Amino acid sequence: MTSGPDYPAETPEDGPARSPSGPSPDADPNAPHQPLPYRVRARLRGAGRWLRVHARHALVVGVVTAVAGALATVGADQLPKLFEEPPPGCPGAGCDGKSPKDSGCAYDAATWEPKEGNPVRIHLRYSKSCGAVWGRIVNGEPGDMVTLRVSGGAARSASIDYRHDKYTTMATVGLTFRVRLCAVPMTGPRRTVTWVKYCFEATEHVPWE
C-alpha cells in the first residue's frame, strides 16, 4: 500500500506499531513457544559455566572478607593474644597430682636432663607458672619406671605401658626446691637392654632448657 492523499502513512501517534514477527493478539496461548535464537542460548550457557566455575571462589572470597572484617574490629594490641596458648588451669597446690598436659602446665615447662650417664634419658620438667615438677622417661621399654620425690614434699611414679616413654603426674614445689629423679629398669626375661637403676638430683638453679 502506498501513501497519498487518500491513504495517509501510519504514524506512531495512530497506535502502537506491531512487529512483523511479534505474536498476534489472536494467537493461541497454548501454542508452543518459539525456541530462543542460537546466539542467546549460547550466551546463557556461557554464563552458566562461569557461575559454576567461580561460585566456589566467590564463597572463599566472602569468607576471607568476613574474617578480615572481624579481625579489623579487634585492637592491634589484642591480635597476639589470639595465638597464645591457654593459661594453666591449676596454678599452685591445685596442680598437685594432675596431668601436666591436661592442665596446660606443659606449655611453658622447662627441662633439665643430664647428658652423661643417663641410660634411658630421664629428665625433670618444671613449670614455674604452675609451681610444679614432674618426671619423664623417654627411651625405656614397657615396664620401666620413672620415679620422682620432692624433698619435704610429694612422691610420684609412672611405668611405661607401651612404646618407650612415660611421664608422671605433677608434684607441687615452692620457689626453692630439691628433687630426686630415678629410672628403674624392669626385670624379666623379655628385657633386651641391660642397665642399672639411675638417679640424679636437681634444684631450681640447674640450667633449665
pLDDT digits (tens, 9 = 90+) for 185-199: 988 777 777 889 999
- Pull the grid cell for residue 154: 610429694
Q: Bigger pLDDT: 206 or 78?
A: 206
% of the chain residues with pLDDT over 70? 57
% of the chain residues with pLDDT over 90? 46
What pLDDT shows up at residue 32? 52
Please determine, for residue 182, whether its predicted confidence score (pLDDT) is greater than 90.
yes
Angstrom distance (rounded) from CA 109 to CA 130: 9
Q: How confident is the model at residue 144 (pLDDT cuts 50, 70, 90)?
A: very high
Q: How confident is the model at residue 120 (pLDDT cuts 50, 70, 90)?
A: very high
Q: Bigger pLDDT: 104 or 13?
A: 104
* 22-76: pLDDT as tens digits: 444 444 555 555 555 655 555 666 666 555 555 554 444 444 344 445 444 444 4
Q: Bigger pLDDT: 151 or 194?
A: 151
